[in-house]
Amino acid sequence: MDSYIPDLIWFNGSLVPWEDAKVHVWSELAIRGASVFEGIRAFWNPEEQRYYVLDLESHVRRLNESARLLKFPITTDFHTTLQAINSLLTALDLREHAYIRPTLYIDHGRYGSRAKDTLSGMHIAAFPSPHSDALYRGIRCTVSSWRRSSELNLSPRIKAGGSYMAFRLPFIEARERGFDDAILLNNRDTVSESSGAAVFVVKDSMVATPPLSAGILESITRRRIISLLHDEFFMEVQEREIVRTELYTADEVFLCGTLCEVQPVVGIDGYLPGDGMPGPLTTRCRDYYIEICESGASAPSGWLTPVEKTSSRQ
């Protein structure tokens, strides 16, 4: 995604050439980071020659919820957003797994505080996004010296573009220490989340993940993994506070999110979960999750939304 430039982007109601999607440098988007966004996965099914999008409607609902919580005017309705994603994937015709990023933003109007004076917009981009190698080899993390924002600052429930700057220094700190990612604690000194994913720990065949009150995004992938562990593996997941040392003594630790999917953590601050290799439950969960995502029409009900063929331009 870092170097790939798509031919088209959906911008304020239509598909346009990538280079034609422009917002002024003095927009609220540029000067205050006034945007909310989603990250969505689409899986190319070569047998059926079509895309299936994971939890599409849940993602669009969360996008609109983030906008409502920040009191952004929503000018693109739910079904238009769904159709726009369909149209973009069809027009780009990538024929490989993809990452979709719809963004609602404020163009004009100080903070967007007065609806009648506010001009807002929306763009949707899509990029090729194969499974990461780290999905199978695992990653090494460090517990950051930085803290996750609290509900009374900018709620982690809001997926705002500006709020993700809070992950910049933890991520850079992790890389400078020689790690792949950071795990953040909250203002109660318990585990929150990584720089872009939910955290799960496994100890003595028990699975736990921080609750929403720990300062985490209300992750759609996290919800899916909890259901998968319960429905397919017959395991209960404890949503509870997790202290730092539990990360160091766990049998397994893994992250889950749209981009990282189900990613083993094989080291934390020099401690090795289990034997320092992707653990058996993590591996089973990852493989089953990927199998569902790539299963197309045979996926369990509610997981995947097929992309319907549309005209290449609107």
Q: Which residues are catalytic?
A: 159
Q: Are 300 and 280 in contact (CB under 8 A)?
A: no
CB atoms closer than 10 angstroms to residue 130: 10
Helix, strand, coil percent values for the chain (each to nearest 5) = 30, 30, 40
Pairing of the two strands 206-209 and 237-239:
parallel
Estimate the crossing angle of helix 220-231 against helix 280-293, to 10 degrees.
110
Beta-bridge partners for 155: none
Dist CA 39 CA 98 (whole Å): 10
Alpha helices in 13-96 (DSSP H): 28-32, 56-69, 78-92
Dist CA 107 CA 26 (whole Å): 8
The CA radius of gyration of the chain, in Å to the nearest whole number, is: 20
Q: Are 248 and 269 in contact (CB under 8 A)?
A: yes
Residue whose C-alpha is closest to residue 261's, from 298, 311, 224: 224
Dist CA 236 CA 229 (whole Å): 7
Alpha helices in 138-243 (DSSP H): 168-176, 220-231
Q: Are 59 and 67 in contact (CB under 8 A)?
A: no
Residue whose C-alpha is closest to residue 291's, from 139, 137, 135, 138: 135
CB atoms closer than 10 angstroms to residue 257: 22
Residue whose C-alpha is closest to residue 49's, from 94, 87, 101: 94
